[in-house]
A and B are shown apart, each in its own frame.
Chain A
Amino acid sequence: MTDAMQDGARILIIDDSRDNRLLLRAMLAASGHADVLLAESARDAFHHLGMEESGGPDPQVGLILLDISMPVLDGIEACRLIKAVDRLRDVPIIMVTAMTDPGFLVSAFDAGAVDYITKPVKKMELLARVGSALRLKQSMDTCRIQGLALLKKNKELERAMQEVKVLRGFIPICMSCKKIRDDGGYWQQIESYIQKHSEALFSHGVCPDCYQKLSDQYLKDEEFNSQKGGFDHEH
């Protein structure tokens, strides 16, 4: 099975010449591209693409082959109008034209075409360019899907980050008692502040310096109490 047969994409052929439409369809069919729509004009193509004001179902076209020289609305203008539709923006458009003036080709690329094939069409060239454009579309679709998935993950991450409690920035702290002033202007114990703004919990103990200080104080108090008791006894 060739790559073309694996693609299975719907192809829209837009050409005012019936002979050309049938020719391209036959060439594509011989390579396994059986899903082909034909449009005899730009307006007919817009109908196929659901671009009319009344709207229409999205035909899920994967590639457009577009003639330049058509009456009423030429291929370049048609290309521009198709590309202006958001859901059709990524559909590759290949111009198929007997016009060799470089100016037309520049205009076609400016209008959003990704490639061109000159008429008379050679089957091998047509199939090569169609295959290339379809692979490009497939890559773009994959990138878009991955991009959407990344966006979703990013949003989930942002939500999770908001729930994470992190202390940062300048925190007003009393240099004497070490109380901390919160966002509301209220001075609170350092333990209360940290517990409120983080996942930390406190288990209370006594550090060596304070233990020594408290011990000394305790001994002083004991001595004072015993001296006071002796004085009271005497008197």
Chain B
Amino acid sequence: MTQNNDASNGEKILVRADPDLADLIPGFLANRLKDIATMQDALARGDFEAVRILGHSMKGAGGGYGFDAITEIGAALEQAAKGKDSGSIGKGLLDLFAYLDRVEVIYD
């Protein structure tokens, strides 16, 4: 469940996460930031397969940690990579970056 919250620095995206995953979530989100850099490098050299694999992995993991949006973005990146669609991949990476920048986790 997400909730927009107007704040002075932009909208925050609140995500309620499982407290049992509290120790893992910071590392998970940090890895997604690394994925952005990795996929940008892969895109620059035309390695769509690398983008596809990371997108697929993101699709599988995101929702399990409580981040459905990461699953959706991952699925989009996977599809875009299959179609060798650089534009859509670029958009997906921007969406992911913006999401990670705004997401705030609350443990229920």
Contacts and interface: CB of A to CB of B under 8 A. Distances in A.
Interface string B88-99: 000000000000
Contact of A120 (B21, B27, B31, B63): B63
Given A17-B60, A98-B59, A23 B20 contact: no
A20 B61 contact: yes
Contacts of B68: 120
Contacts, number: 56
Interface residues of A, number: 18
* Residue in A19, A69, A97 with the greatest tally of chain B CB atoms within 10 Å: A19
B21 A119 contact: no
* Residue in B27, B28, B64, B65 with the greatest tally of chain A CB atoms within 10 Å: B64
A17 B62 CA distance: 12
Interface in B48-87: 56-57, 59-65, 68, 71
Contacts of A135: none
B56 A23 contact: no
A26 B18 CA distance: 10
Main secondary structure of the interface of B (DSSP, over half): helix
A47 to B, nearest CB: 23
Contact of A23 (B59, B61, B71): B61
A120 B20 contact: no
Given A19-B31, A26-B20, A26-B21, A120 B61 contact: yes
A52 B68 CA distance: 39
Contact of B60 (A18, A26, A119, A122): A119
B64 A17 contact: no
